Structure 1
Amino acid sequence: MQAHLKRVVTDWFLCGMFLATFLAWLFPHFGASGGSMHAEYVINIGVFVVFFLHGINLSSEQFRHGLKNWRLHLMVQGFTFVVFPLLWWLGNSVLGSHVPALLMLGFLYLCALPSTISSSVALTGSAGGNVPAAILNASLSSVLGIFLTPWLVSLVVGNGSDGIDLGATLLDLCAMLLLPLVLGQLLRPWLGRFFARHKRYTNVMDKVVILLLVYAAFCNSMISGLWQQQGGSVLLTAVLGSALLLALILWLTTRSARLLRFSQADEIAAVFCASKKSLAAGAPMAALIFGAHPGLGLILLPIMIYHPLQLIVCSIMAEHYANRPAPLAKEAPLVSAR
């Protein structure tokens, strides 16, 4: 357990999220909308480049190879875009009146997000799971999320002047996320090998853009006075809610995979892909869905907490799966010699 915690604490990206929120407290005007950083332009360019790199690095051959196991795919996408939102609906029905509205919106946004790609595939591989199926489901989830995430949010907050402009939001998401993804796939035959050799640097670019988004979101929240109005109980509620959600979804996905009689390799892929939520997609999409909303920092808080929690817990589970002994072959019945 200590080794897994140490890995998270020493992760520069997770430390960077704490630093980004601290810098937003010190220098809120620099990163806010209209500030000297010109966040609205810098982030848009960064998001476009990041999703272009995702398209370059996405292997269509592995994607096609994973198409066969349709029951696994239905389970993963069903949990990602149906079960998660239903759990939010149940939680909101029971606890909605006791939780700040913006934080509850943040939990809705967390539940509507697609799965991760990199961590889902990496953990599935280290645990001995079905990697092609993990690649397909995580990639498919990211594409579906461009359309389903804003639609799910609009079902609650409304569509139009009182909520989000769903049509305009979908156009923005297609222009900023889907278009560069498609361009990356089209250019993969020529540029794929080059970017594969430098994948370490493209992963850094991905994380830097997320940190800029977090910083800008918290800058706008600081200037609006939102954090001054909220007490420490909001942070505690976000931590407890994220931990409870993760524990519940891991139990549900594990039980469902076993009820469906998946092989251990398929169970690993199902559990790790269906329980994950993507901060890499969530931060850019939030900027496009909610714009310069002063409460964006609070809306992003649940996914910022859920992200490191899922890495810690699922890395422990991956080690457990990897060390699980193979089932013993049934011994042949003894036949007495006559």
Structure 2
Amino acid sequence: MKRPAWLPDNLVLLLLATVALATVLPVQGAGVPVLDGLTQAAVALLFFLHGCKLSRRAVWEGLLHWRLHAVVFAATFLLFPVLGLLLRPWLEPLVGPTLYLGVLFICALPSTVQSSIAFTSLARGNVAAAMCSASTSNILGMALTPLLMAVMGRWVGAQAGSGAVHLSWHTFEGILTTLLLPFVAGQALQRWMGPWVAAHKAWVRVSDQSTILLVVYGAFSAATVQGLYQHLPPATLAAVLLICAVLLALVMTLLTVLSRALGFSREDEIAIVFCGSKKTLASGVPMAQILFAGQAVGLLVLPLMIFHQLQLMVCASIARRYAREGAGASPAV
């Protein structure tokens, strides 16, 4: 029996349990550097495995469909940030500067990979194009996300100590050594490691999720120790949920209209809508740990966690609707 789309997925349930554990039993004192070292190693392993399983052939073949990818990348790295900035007069008063920065962080992140491809396939869309767009978006995001956060932080006039992102050699060193180099190493060893990774998908999935849970536990432990939850009433959580819903609805609607106006096929429209509207939790949480080092990471990733669950529920429903509408059509080629 399939899980209803409105129910949280297993990862979200684990995230909620991790947040609860960090609230009741946060890591403190001598345990903090131990957890930090373990988390850094787990993040490096995560990106190494992503490098091993990402097909270079699929990327190069998919890049030929440049018009589709241009729309997806524009939505991911341009439309989302523009909406986040334009809506600032309404968003920031609702949730405060720290959570608003977390919303901007959502806007700067790359697309998901696995779920974008899965929903595109379920909806009978262009799976090859979705695979290329989502994968390339994650690669570009390693460089574009920090740059976008620095630009947007300066644009909104964020002050040091209030969640501002200042690019420095330390930031780039963290991205280079923890994210990029392990990914490149995975690509270099793909010929030998790729088949093993493909044969152990369940183990890789557990590794991915465990890494996210480690980072979230560390981030929310720090937030608990610092007493940040005292300033997070239920009304603020409801406001964050509303903001995430508005962002997702705006982007999915605009992408649907734009895809049809530009004459894309139904299959391409599906890939554009799912790849261009989704944001990665798997890469986002580890990246937040580097970009917002020493800040309230627990609060900053909270909007992303909410957006993640919301996009899964909404996209599952829309994918099934696409599939029903195309049930009588010829299979995509």
Instruction: Determine if the TM-score, normalized by the shorter chain, exceeds 0.5.
Output: yes
In the TM superposition, 1:185-196 aligns within 5 A as 185-196=187-198
Q: Normalising by structure 2, what TM-score?
A: 0.92
For residues 84 and 48 of structure 2, the distance between their equivalents in structure 1, rounded to whole angstroms, comes to 32
**2:231 equivalent in structure 1:** 229
Q: Normalising by structure 1, what TM-score?
A: 0.90
Shift of 1:154: 0.9
For residues 161 and 99 of structure 1, the distance between their equivalents in structure 2, rounded to whole angstroms, comes to 17
**Structure 2 residues not aligned, in runs of 5+:** none
For residues 106 and 270 of structure 2, the distance between their equivalents in structure 1, rounded to whole angstroms, comes to 22
Shift of 1:290: 0.5
Rg bigger for which structure?
A: 1
**Structure 1 residues not aligned, in runs of 5+:** 330-338
**1:143 equivalent in structure 2:** 139
1:33–1:40 CA distance, 2 compared to 1 (3 A): farther
Shift of 1:61: 1.2
1:26–1:251 CA distance, 2 compared to 1 (3 A): same
1:132–1:328 CA distance, 2 compared to 1 (3 A): closer
**1:303 equivalent in structure 2:** 304
**1:66 equivalent in structure 2:** 62
**1:267 equivalent in structure 2:** 269
Give the stretch that moved more between structures: 135-144 or 50-59: 135-144
Shift of 1:328: 7.5
For residues 148 and 22 of structure 1, the distance between their equivalents in structure 2, rounded to whole angstroms, comes to 32
**1:117 equivalent in structure 2:** 113
Is 1:12 equivalent to 2:20 in the alignment?
A: no
Per-residue deviation, residues 204-235 of structure 1 (Å, max 9, x unmatched): 10011101111111110111111012211211
Contact 1:220–1:292 under 8 Å retained in 2? no
Q: 1:208 is aligned with what amino acid?
A: S
Is 1:245 equivalent to 2:247 in the alignment?
A: yes
The 3-state SS of whatever aligns with 1:4 is: coil
Contact 2:53–2:194 under 8 Å retained in 1? yes
Q: 2:199 is aligned with what amino acid?
A: R
The 3-state SS of whatever aligns with 1:38 is: helix
**1:334 equivalent in structure 2:** none
In the TM superposition, 1:1-80 aligns within 5 A as 3-5=3-5, 8-9=7-8, 11-28=9-26, 30=27, 32=28, 34-35=30-31, 38-80=34-76
**2:165 equivalent in structure 1:** 164
Shift of 1:33: 7.2
Q: 1:153 aligns with which of 138, 149, 152?
A: 149
Contact 1:160–1:166 under 8 Å retained in 2? no
Contact 2:91–2:100 under 8 Å retained in 1? no
Name the count of aligned residue pairs. Answer: 323
Q: 1:174 aligns with which of 170, 173, 176?
A: 176
Q: 1:315 is aligned with what amino acid?
A: A
Q: 2:44 is aligned with what amino acid?
A: F
Shift of 1:248: 1.1
Q: 2:18 is aligned with what amino acid?
A: A
Shift of 1:5: 3.3
In the TM superposition, 1:89-128 aligns within 5 A as 89-128=85-124
Contact 2:212–2:285 under 8 Å retained in 1? yes
Shift of 1:141: 0.8
Shift of 1:297: 1.2
For residues 233 and 160 of structure 1, the distance between their equivalents in structure 2, rounded to whole angstroms, comes to 24
Per-residue deviation, residues 282-317 of structure 1 (Å, max 9, x unmatched): 100000001131x21111111100101111111111
Contact 2:80–2:107 under 8 Å retained in 1? yes
For residues 72 and 119 of structure 2, the distance between their equivalents in structure 1, rounded to whole angstroms, comes to 15
**1:205 equivalent in structure 2:** 207
For residues 115 and 33 of structure 1, the distance between their equivalents in structure 2, rounded to whole angstroms, comes to 36
For residues 282 and 36 of structure 1, the distance between their equivalents in structure 2, rounded to whole angstroms, comes to 21
**1:318 equivalent in structure 2:** 319
